[in-house]
Amino acid sequence: MITETHSSASPTRLKSGDLRSDFDLSASELRMLLELAGEVKRQPDKWRSALRGRIASLLFEKPSLRTRMTFEVAAKQLGGDAILTVGPVGGREPVKDVARNLERWTDIIVARTFEQETVDELARAAEIPVVNALSDRYHPCQALADMLTLKEIWGGWQGHTLAFVGDGNNVAHSLMLDCSRLGVNFVCVTPQGYEPKPEIVEQAREFAMAAGAAVEVTNDAEAGLARAEAVYTDVWASMGLEHEAAERARLFAPYQVNSGLMELAQPGALFMHCLPAHREEEVTDEVMESRTSVIFQQAENRLHAQKALMLMLIDGPAR
């Protein structure tokens, strides 16, 4: 018989109270969250009433499969529920008014937006936690799942190397910030002119120095992949940039993750992708289906990482 309970020791609350970006997690909080995610994955029944009666507001300006499903399932499996609203945030009324309505009905706001400023404005106005479920600048929930996946496979993070190949986008930013704090060497291999934001690279290098790791940005795939134990890519034109797709396809073609590019990495290097993937564009079907591809393990771990995040942001069951 399974006892309906949750951990006797409540998870540590995040000091920021939000996850607007990866910067809202300290290095120690990042490690604690990932440790909790692993525990939640191993013992899901232990947490099935941890957020009983709590409701998550999901505000999605962009289409979603993994983010929507994993947050909804996470809320329900923790004893709560989630309500989805699709469309522009602040389209009919100011963003701050949306936030101050939702805080009176629900316990957390999960926002998937075109602009980072929308997430930030929600967080400024709301007295309940706000989570960035993807913006133009960061994708922190994806990076959490990725770090959990790497630990499961590598057994730890320190001293390993991950290479991100493609556009220096929101996923690259979040991966870089998490890798650098966990001691993973991070290399961004990208066409000239598509490098990640310099200010984010600079901050990641400071984190890496403290953690005994390194952050590199290069246009040279051969040099960038030489030490890579994991090769990660994303679509060449993210949502909102479809008008650049043809030009990007031309410039990014030499950076397609195919069997030849994977051979530049270390033997047995993992293949990673945040999904959805455009097969035969940024990555070949052969690589997607290879034995070292962990793309669906990453997708599964979105659920466990987001459960841990919610547990560290919401103050237990409703009274």
Which one is catalytic: 234, 248, 256, 306? 234
Please confirm, yes or no, whether 112 is among the known catalytic residues.
yes
> How distant, in Å, are the alpha carbons of 81, 86, 102, 264 from that of 69?
12, 14, 20, 35
Looking at this protein, which amino acid is placed at residue 145? A
Looking at this protein, which amino acid is placed at residue 212? G
Which one is catalytic: 20, 54, 107, 142? 142
Alpha-carbon span 197 to 188, nearest angstrom: 11
CA angle 175/116/196 to nearest 5° reads 40
Q: Which residues contact 208 (CB under 8 A, 6 or more apart)?
A: 179, 180, 181, 185, 186, 214, 215
Which one is catalytic: 146, 188, 274, 304? 274
Please confirm, yes or no, whether 142 is among the known catalytic residues.
yes
Q: Which residues contact 109 (CB under 8 A, 6 or more apart)?
A: 56, 57, 59, 99, 102, 103, 122, 126, 128, 129, 130, 131
Cβ burial of 151 (10 Å; 0-12, 13-18, 19+) is buried
> Residue 155 region, left (φ>0) first, then alpha (ψ -120 to 50), else beta?
left
What is the SS3 string spanning 210-274? HHCCCEEEECCHHHHHCCCCEEEECCCCCCCCHHHHHHHHHHHHHHCECHHHHCCCCCCCEEEEC
Please confirm, yes or no, whether 234 is among the known catalytic residues.
yes
Please confirm, yes or no, whether 205 is among the known catalytic residues.
no
Looking at this protein, which amino acid is placed at residue 88? P
- Which residues participate in catalysis according to the annotation? 112, 139, 142, 234, 274, 302
